[in-house]
Amino acid sequence: EIVMTQSPATLSVSPGERATLSCRASQSVSSNLAWYQQKSGQAPRLLIYGASTRATGIPAKFSGSGSGTEFTLTISSLQSEDSAVYYCQQYNYWPTFGGGTKVEIK
Amino acid sequence: QVQLQESGPGLVKPSQTLSLTCTVSPGSLSSDSYYWSWIRQPAGKGLEWIGRIYTSGSSLYNPSLKSRVTMSVDTSKSQFSLKVTSVTAADTAVYYCATTVLTEAFDYWGQGTLVTVSS
């Protein structure tokens, strides 16, 4: 099993600032990495796939980077609607998810 | 655009079998290029992939659940299904069906259905 570890667990950011979320894989997943946003009571929404490609309809404020075992999701100019839990997920083998990072707006 | 909708009992007794169905947009199951997954999420916790099935019937399950999970597909009804046997309270979760269409990640999800295991 490939274990995905996300940090920090919680991130509190002021409106307009940038948030940087990290995801680490226990072994290389190449670029087979996705990021999801989950708001309270909703299903997850795909933001990024292939480590850095935005999914259809996702604004440019969301960007992903990394390969191998280290990945980053950056959310620029945070607004209240960006409050959510963000998950990374590898699909290099059978899919596994990270534990999530909760992004709060101060 | 693919739409998915989960359905099934919201309450299952311990040791019994959990059965859920995901109904998808008509015609979506006709392609064997997509695979159809089940993912669950206990309250306040993270996401766990349960398994996936192709339209052809080929399947892959999470090794931690493999002994208790069976998936099937019925293209005539545009549905795929999940069965989990010998359930315990640890199986209480919101269950989502999801698929990969445009990407290799889960780009379409159902709204989720809560299943509680309790006597």
- pLDDT tens-digit series, residues B52-100: 999 888 999 999 999 999 999 998 899 999 999 999 999 999 999 999 9
Q: Using 50, 70 and 90 to split pLDDT, how confident is the model at B47?
A: very high
With a CB cutoff of 8 Å and minimum separation 6, the contacts of B57 are B72, B73
Q: Using 50, 70 and 90 to split pLDDT, how confident is the model at B29?
A: confident
Does an H or E element contain B23, and which? strand B18-24
- pLDDT tens-digit series, residues B102-117: 888 999 999 999 999 9
Q: Is the pLDDT of residue B31 over 80?
A: no
How many Å lie between the alpha carbon of A3 and the closest alpha carbon of chain B?
Answer: 12
The mean pLDDT of chain A is: 97
B109–A45 C-beta distance less than 8 A: yes
With a CB cutoff of 8 Å and minimum separation 6, the contacts of A57 are none
How many Å lie between the alpha carbon of B110 and the closest alpha carbon of chain A?
Answer: 7
A98–B112 C-beta distance less than 8 A: no
Supply the pLDDT for residue B30: 75
A100–B60 C-beta distance less than 8 A: no
Which chain A residue shows the shortest CA-CA distance from B38?
A95
- pLDDT tens-digit series, residues A10-28: 999 999 999 999 999 999 9
Cis preceding-peptide flag for A8 (omega within 30 of 0)? yes
Picking from A77-86, B27-36, B54-63, B87-96, which range would have the lowest pLDDT averaged per residue?
B27-36
Supply the pLDDT for residue B89: 97
Tokens of A24: 């680490």
